[in-house]
Amino acid sequence: MAKPFSFEVLAIDGKARRGVIDMPRGEIRTPAFMPVGTGGTVKTMYMDQVRGVGADIILGNTYHLMLRPGAERVARLGGLHEFARWPHPILTDSGGFQVMSLSKLRKLTEKGVTFRSHIDGAPYEMSPERSIEIQGLLDSDIQMQLDECTALPAELKEIERAMELSLRWAERCKTAFGDQPGKAMFGIVQGGDNAALRVRSAQALSEMGLKGYAVGGLAVGEPQAVMLEMLDITCPELPADKPRYLMGVGTPDDILKSVARGIDMFDCVMPTRAGRHGLAYTRRGKVNLRNARHADDPRPLDEESDCPAARDYSRAYLHHLVRSQEALAAMLLTWNNLSYYQKLMQDIRAAIETQTFEARGAEITEGWARGDI
Ligand code: GUN
């Protein structure tokens, strides 16, 4: 029998954890950053490059893949790993969050959500059971419960209703997922910016005995301080021996501060999206390559990086590519950005192992503050 899904905490420094998730398709070193591969591609990147920068796992989206090319089609073609040529672990989001932000004419009931595709207006239904079925057809390794995420600011009653609904949907997803030793289904803590609701959600999910827990409903319009306060409240309520995943976060600074509060996994479109908009993440902060000051600059983004995109191309050339709207601009900058994010996670993991996380975090932050070279 294939080895079961497992999580081990290897080192602790303050509240920060260095761990490893082990599953049949491979190991995930935590804290981990998952590049976003919404529709079966990490935009502009070959999968070999995604692996090459150090990613152990990528994220896919139920919502996008069910609309196009369709989950049943992906299943017929051998599942998402084979289809996209990524043999390592894949986590899929459940669809609830994307339905709410992208689809048209959506209607949410106890049963689930009905909506129209943002691509062609075709009608769809998604229940907790159908979301898990789709994630199974994709052959996703880590599946997420269907939830309802409330945009902030919101009325307390509204946050509470969505949180309680998400708890009931977590139970239904757990039943639909059943017993699959090599895979995992994670619950999602909701509760907006309300401490009591967050505690209620985290405790009720913990009692379900799931293999991992996500914190959702954050980075949805609230200040960073509110997000961090919610993590301070939520993390201690989650089982210490299970991975914790902060959904849709964030900036390098968000990641450092969330690891410090006990988060193990992250995903965010930031490095990939920024790369398609001419922005580079570096040790010295963000660099906007569209800016005219780079037009004659022969220096690379970072001569010390082992990523060719950061090390081997001049800022002048990158500026030229961005201004000319060349496909290579997005390709090189996305490569640089994902490399930067993975290097950050590697740094974080090494610092936790040597009990130097706080000092290393301060050094990294100081590098950004010094500004571009
Ligand atoms: N991505 C970012 N935030 C969320 C959330 O609250 N729920 C889900 N399902 N996905 C997310």
pLDDT digits (tens, 9 = 90+) for 142-200: 999 999 999 999 999 999 999 999 999 999 999 999 999 999 999 999 999 999 999 99
Residue 60 has pLDDT above 70, yes or no: yes
Average pLDDT over residues 202-217: 98
Active site residues: 93, 267
**Residue nearest (by alpha carbon) to ligand 1 atom 9:** 97
Task: Give, in order, the Cα–Cα distances in Å from 328 to each of 290, 310, 332, 341.
Answer: 14, 13, 6, 20
Pocket mutation for ligand 1, best pick of 97, 113, 231 (most atoms within 8 Å of C-beta): 97
Average pLDDT over residues 63-85: 98
Task: Give, in order, the Cα–Cα distances in Å from 54 to each of 35, 91, 344.
Answer: 10, 16, 11
Average pLDDT over residues 361-373: 90
Average pLDDT over residues 7-22: 98
Pocket mutation for ligand 1, best pick of 61, 93, 99, 148 (most atoms within 8 Å of C-beta): 93
Residue 36 has pLDDT above 80, yes or no: yes
Token reading at 314: 């001049």
- Say if strands 113-116 and 123-126 run parallel, antiparallel, or are unpaired: antiparallel
Name the pTM for this structure. Answer: 0.98
What's the pLDDT at 356? 98
Q: Is the dihedral of CA 153, 248, 238, 201 positive or negative?
A: positive
Strand order in the sheet with 212-215: 32-35, 265-268, 244-246, 212-215, 184-189, 142-144, 90-93, 58-61
Residue 105 has pLDDT above 90, yes or no: no
Rounded distance between C-alpha atoms, residue 187 and residue 145, angstroms: 5
Cα 345 to ligand 1 centroid, rounded to whole Å? 21
Cα 286 to ligand 1 centroid, rounded to whole Å? 26
Token reading at 75: 């299943």
Cα 169 to ligand 1 centroid, rounded to whole Å? 14
3-state secondary structure of 249: coil
Q: Are 185 and 146 in contact (CB under 8 A)?
A: no
Rounded distance between C-alpha atoms, residue 352 and residue 266, angstroms: 17
Token reading at 184: 């995992």
Cα 247 to ligand 1 centroid, rounded to whole Å? 5
Residues in contact with ligand 1 (CB, 6 Å cut-off) = 93-94, 96-97, 144, 147, 149, 188, 216-217, 247-248
